[in-house]
A = this chain, B = another copy of it.
Amino acid sequence: MAKPAILTASHVLDLSQPLALDGGQSLPRVRIAYETYGTLNADKSNAIIIFHALTGDQCVASPHPITGKPGWWIRMVGPGLPIDTGRYFVICANVLGGCYGSTGPASLADDRQPYAMRFPVITIRDMVRAQVAVLDALGIEQLHAVVGGSMGGMQALSFAANWPSRARAVLVIASTARHSAQNIAFHEVGRQAIMADPKWKGGDYYGGKGPDNGLAVARMAAHITYLSEEGMHEKFGRKLQDRTEKTFGFDADFQVESYLRHQGLSFTDRFDANSYLYITRAMDYFDLAEEHGGRLAEAFKGVTAKFCLVSFDTDWLYPTTESRTIAHALNAAGAPVSFVELSAPFGHDSFLLDVPALDRVIAGFLGC
C-alpha cells in the first residue's frame, strides 16, 4: 500500500496590529510565514503547534525552500507518525526575527530599506506572541499541544507560562528554562565572529556579499555544542579525510575538520547572519523564572496543561539537570508532568535524529 500523502500548505499572515515587544517597542507590519499539515477539524480542537529551533524553519515536514532537502522532522510529523497529520492539524511558523518569510532584520522598514541592526532586539516571548497571533487568525482557541525541541522548547515553556489556557499539553524536548553562562558564552563567540567579519558592515550587507566567513565560524563553534564528545569520537575519532597520512599543513586533514568546515560553509547558503545575531540574543535573554519574580514555579501557577519533558543523557548543551529543574518547578506548581531522560549517543542533536524511544514518548504523550 502506498504511504498516505501528507497534506501541506504554505501561508503568510500579515498581522493586523503592530506587535508589542518585551523591549518596549512596537513592531509594525509583522508578517509570519507558516506551514500547516493535515486538516483542522470542525471544532478546531486538533491543532498542534511545533516551535522550531535556532537554525530551523517552518518546513518541519516539507522540502527546505533553499536546499530542497526533506523537512527537518519528517521522522516525527506525517500520516501515522508520532505527530500524526492524519489526526492532528500541525502548524509550524518561522520565528519572528527569522529569515524564512517571517519579519526579521532582512525585512524592509518604513524607509523601504532592510531593518538590519535597526530591527529591535526580541525575546522568546515575542516570538511566541507572534505565533499566538497566527492562532488567533485561525480561530484556534486551544491547542491540542505545543511541541518544541531546544529553542522550540523555550517557546513551548513561554507559551505555557504566558498563555496558560491555550494548550492542553506541552511537550518540551532537550531544552531549558534559562540560558546558562556557558550557553551565553558560546553564542557570544558566534556573534563576535560575525561582527568581526568586515563584510558584516554593521549589519548593512544586504544587496551585497554578507559576512559568510564569520557566520561559518559561528556555526562551527555552535555545531560542536550540538554533538556529544562520545558521538564525535564514534563518528570521527582521529580519522583522516581522503588521505592516509597527515599532510603537515593546514588543510582539513581530519574528518572532523572537514565535517565542521562543511557545516559552516553550507550554513551560510541558508541563513541570514543578522537573524543569527537576533535569535541567539533572544535565547540568551531567556530566563523564564526571571520573568516571574525569580521563581520558576510562579511561571506555571494556575497552568492546567499536562507536561512532558524529555532530555538526553549525552546532551551537554541543555543537560538533564535543566529539564529536572523545570520538572521540580512544575511539581511545585501542582502541574501534571512526566519527565524522562533518554539514552542516545547524538548529544543535543538527538531530538532531530534516529532515537526510536523519543518517537514512542511523543506518540504516547500526544495520543492519550
Contact = CB atoms under 8 A, between A and B. Distances in A.
Interface of A: 22-24, 117, 120-121, 178-182, 184-186, 188-189, 191-193, 195-198, 213-214, 216-217, 220-221, 224, 227, 229, 232-233, 235-238, 246, 248-250, 252, 254, 256-257, 260-261, 264, 277, 281, 284-285, 287, 290, 316
A-B residue pairs, 5 tightest by C-beta: A196-B213, A23-B248, A181-B232, A121-B248, A181-B236
A179 B217 contact: no
Contact of A196 (B192, B214, B249, B287): B214
Contacts of A316: 229, 316
Main secondary structure of the interface of A (DSSP, over half): helix
11 contacts: A23-B248, A178-B238, A180-B238, A182-B224, A184-B254, A184-B256, A185-B257, A186-B224, A189-B220, A191-B250, A196-B213
Contacts of A191: 250
A148 to B, nearest CB: 21
A17 B76 CA distance: 65
Contacts of A227: 182
Contacts of A23: 248
A22 B237 CA distance: 22
A224 B185 contact: yes
Find the residue from A120, A181, A264 having the highest chain B CB count within 10 A. Answer: A181
